[in-house]
Amino acid sequence: MYAPLKCLIVGSTLTFAGLPALATEEGAPVAPEHAPTAVVRCIDTGRVPVTADEAQALPLRLVGFLGCGDRVSIIADHDGYTLRIRANSGQEGYVARMYLNSDSNAVVPMTKKAPVSSAHVDNGIARWAAGAPGCDEFISHGRHVESITANGITVQVSVQDSGWKYRANVAVSNQSGEATSVLPGIVTLDELTPNLRSLYAVDSTKLAHTPTHQVLWTIVDAVPSRSAVADYSGSVSDSERLANRTSPAPDYLNPRLELASARRSGFDRSESIDVQSIALKNTAVLAGQITAGVMWFERDSSAHELSLRVPVGDMVFDFPFSFEQKK
């Protein structure tokens, strides 16, 4: 099951940072003597999945389900999307934070972290540049992710070439204190070189009914454009930049989009993935919430420089990519 929103509350006094780390090699984690508790809340379903893995990668490795209103003990909290819980039945596993309410009826919060610096916004546009304030980059499941934080909003994206369509993974975290909107219909991908043209988005409902799926295949991963790297990083290598991040941000694409892009080989298919369930949705992102999803765009095999623009609220987040490794 895909849950499009992930929730966190920043600044709450209720945290679980002091809980013990997960599992030693020999055994399961041991709950503290006075482990905090939470109540299961149902959002878009009558029951909540409990998984064996912290990332909740697809297909889900289910341990079981919890019912609405069930009370659970929090065994460990690593400030991620999921927490390890123990139900009254003794069942243990991972549950998405968004499905757990604290005793104060608020969504179980993450530990408050130091604020990330804000990117420069010029005429409503925040453009990614390596090493610039509020801009980050990292590798997530083999994908090069660009991240911009501006005015409390963080947008993270990666772009892959499936050999059939371009695929963009998008995550938005709202820590601005006010609700904002994400509208996939106005997200754009433009080819800048060698041709200057828009690459139109593909309706996920049409992809879901396409007989030959390559929606999750990857033949080439996009990387930051050289022009967006030179101004701040000069001659620094990619590995040096990634090892010395100036404005580090959490990975909001993981685990919701961990499902993976397989490398094209033989008759590998992705029909088992529910395309519409992972597609980026129109949504209002409340303060403290996260949404993530996938978009697909028309492909130009000769494309070199690309610009992915993600409007969020009254800002546009502009991400420069290139397929430099193409031959």
Class at the top of the CATH hierarchy for domain 12-19+31-101: mainly beta
Does residue 79 surpass a pLDDT of 80?
no
pLDDT, average across residues 194-223 = 84
- Range with lowest mean pLDDT among 32-36, 85-89, 263-267: 263-267
For the chain, what percent of residues have pLDDT higher than 90? 36
**More confident position, 25 or 82:** 82
Is the pTM higher than 0.95? no
Give 116-160 pLDDT, tens digit per residue: 689 999 999 999 999 899 999 999 878 899 999 999 999 999 999
For tokens 């005429």, what's the residue? Answer: 123
Question: How far is the CA of 283 from the CAs of 5, 74, 186, in angstroms?
Answer: 9, 30, 13
The pLDDT confidence band at residue 17, using thresholds 50, 70 and 90, is: very low
At 252 the pLDDT is 87
User: Residue 30: which region, alpha, beta or left (left: phi > 0; alpha: psi -120 to 50)?
Assistant: beta
Which of 52, 111, 102, 44 has its CA nearest to residue 78? 111
Point out which residues pair with 159 in neighbouring strands: 168
**Segment 185-210 mean pLDDT:** 90
More confident residue, 219 or 109: 219
- pLDDT recorded at residue 215: 80
Q: Which helix H or strand E contains 277, and what residues bound it?
A: helix 275-278
CATH 2.30.30.40 residue window(s) in the chain: 12-19+31-101
Please tell me the total number of residues recorded for the chain in this structure. Answer: 327
* HSE value, Cβ hemisphere, 13 Å, CA-based, for 202: 20
What pLDDT does residue 300 have?
94
Output 155 or 248, whichever has higher pLDDT.
155
The pLDDT value given to residue 212: 53
3-state helix, strand, coil in the chain (%, to 5): 10, 40, 55
Mean pLDDT over each residue of the chain, to the nearest integer: 78
Q: How far apart are the C-alpha atoms of 5 and 16, rounded to whole Å?
A: 21
At 225-244, the pLDDT tens digits run 988 887 665 567 778 888 88
pLDDT above 80 for 14: no
